[in-house]
């Protein structure tokens, strides 16, 4: 009988602006943080760059990854590419971002990964408040994701992840909304879509307390997710805190409880991704890599 297989990786968002050279950041991940799996963020090689720069940086990155035995287990949009994208109010922009995501799929495939991820889309406040417009853009975004999925499938991508967020303007803010959207995404899709649950997300204004309970999300989404973004989380959902002693004493995320909750769902491969971010303030900034290393050690010991 198949059991759950957990794969721990580190999201590369914390590297952006701090460690830009692939030769530097790949060695940092492999030799200091001591992990050989990463979730590659679009902020490191933005698909908006000229093709010549994309090819150059992909080649440099792939060479460094191979030389140091580091694997890109998935890719994801990041803090600097978390935009309206597929629900931008301007149709020309929406069409541009369909091509943008296709290029991101190309980058992902060229880095030898079979998994691509992102937030679903983001509405403007005006479009959120217009019911007809909101429904139209949601439908259009699903259609766009299917077009992206068709291209990605041809490049060897096997699954696309989307991340339920914390406000209705960004989609999937409650458990019910997330499950409904996930079901719609998978209707007649060229590729399977799966949720990337984030333990720090959920609608703080929801009348249902389970909508801000990460363990309830896991229990109710069942096999609708194959990925979890991990960080230490407080009840106010206020940050991407590392798993260090200071935050573990007060935080809600306990590895054994997360793993036990997942084991109650259908056995499968589940990617556990440490998605940590650090403000450009001292001492957090200079300790970023050290705190990622401590978080990796914390989870590796739990696994």
Residue pLDDT, tens place only, 149-202: 999 999 999 999 999 999 999 999 999 999 999 999 999 999 999 999 999 999
Tokens of 81: 């590419």
Q: Is the model more confident about 237 or about 230?
A: 230
Q: Does 236 have pLDDT greater than 90?
A: no
Q: Does 1 have pLDDT greater than 90?
A: no
Q: Which of 203, 219, 223, 220 is nearest to 211 (CA)?
A: 203
pLDDT 10s digits, 35-57: 999 999 999 999 999 999 999 99
**So what's the pLDDT on residue 266?**
94
Tokens of 4: 């759950």
Q: Does 234 have pLDDT greater than 90?
A: no
Taking the model in full, what pTM does it have? Answer: 0.96
pLDDT 10s digits, 238-264: 777 999 999 999 899 999 999 999 999
pLDDT 10s digits, 11-30: 999 999 999 999 999 999 99
**How far is residue 231 from each of residues 28, 135, 272, 300, measured CA to CA in Å?**
20, 32, 10, 14
Q: How far apart are the first and last CA of the chain?
A: 20
**So what's the pLDDT on residue 2?**
72
Q: Which of 190, 255, 185, 264 is nearest to 221 (CA)?
A: 264
**So what's the pLDDT on residue 3?**
86
26 vs 46: CA distance, rounded Å: 18
Tokens of 205: 């204004």
DSSP letter at 165 equals -
Are 10 and 296 contacting, i.e. CB atoms less than 8 angstroms apart?
A: yes
Q: What is the mean pLDDT of residues 205-210?
A: 96
Domain ranges of the chain: 5-302
Taking the mean position of all CA atoms in its chain, how far away is CA 35? 18
Are 131 and 197 contacting, i.e. CB atoms less than 8 angstroms apart?
A: no
Q: What is the mean pLDDT of residues 126-130?
A: 97
201 vs 245: CA distance, rounded Å: 22
Q: Which of 270, 269, 272 is nearest to 229 (CA)?
A: 272
Q: What is the mean pLDDT of the chain?
A: 96
Tokens of 168: 């209705």
Q: Does 59 have pLDDT greater than 80?
A: yes
Question: For residue 272, what are the β-bridge partners?
Answer: 8, 228
CATH 3.40.190.10 fits 5-302, yes or no: no
């Amino acid at each position: 009988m198949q059991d759950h297989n957990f794969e721990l990786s580190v999201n590369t968002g914390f590297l952006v602006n701090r460690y830009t050279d692939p030769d530097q950041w790949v060695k940092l991940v492999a030799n200091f943080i001591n992990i050989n799996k990463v979730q590659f963020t679009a902020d490191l090689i933005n698909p908006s760059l000229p093709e010549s720069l994309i090819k150059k940086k992909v080649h440099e990155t792939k060479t460094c990854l191979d030389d140091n035995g580091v694997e890109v287990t998935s890719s994801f949009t990041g803090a600097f590419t978390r935009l309206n994208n597929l629900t931008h109010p301007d149709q020309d922009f929406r069409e541009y971002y369909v091509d943008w995501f296709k290029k991101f799929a190309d980058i992902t495939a060229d880095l030898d990964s079979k998994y691509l991820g992102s937030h679903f889309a983001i509405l403007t406040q005006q479009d959120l408040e217009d019911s007809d417009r909101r429904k139209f853009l949601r439908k259009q975004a699903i259609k766009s994701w299917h077009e992206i999925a068709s291209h990605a499938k041809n490049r060897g991508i096997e699954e696309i992840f989307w991340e339920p967020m914390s406000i209705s303007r960004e989609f999937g803010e409650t458990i019910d909304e997330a499950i409904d959207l996930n079901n719609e995404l998978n209707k007649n899709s060229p590729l399977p879509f799966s949720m990337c649950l984030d333990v720090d997300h959920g609608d703080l204004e929801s009348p249902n307390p389970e909508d801000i309970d990460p363990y309830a999300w896991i229990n109710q989404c069942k096999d609708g997710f194959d990925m979890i973004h991990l960080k230490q989380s407080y009840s106010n959902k206020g940050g991407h805190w590392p798993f260090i002693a200071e935050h573990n004493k007060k935080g809600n995320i306990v590895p054994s409880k997360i793993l036990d909750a997942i084991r109650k769902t259908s056995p499968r491969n589940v990617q556990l991704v440490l998605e940590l971010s650090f403000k450009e303030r001292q001492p957090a900034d200079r300790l970023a890599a050290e705190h990622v290393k401590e978080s990796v050690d914390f989870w590796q010991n739990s696994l």
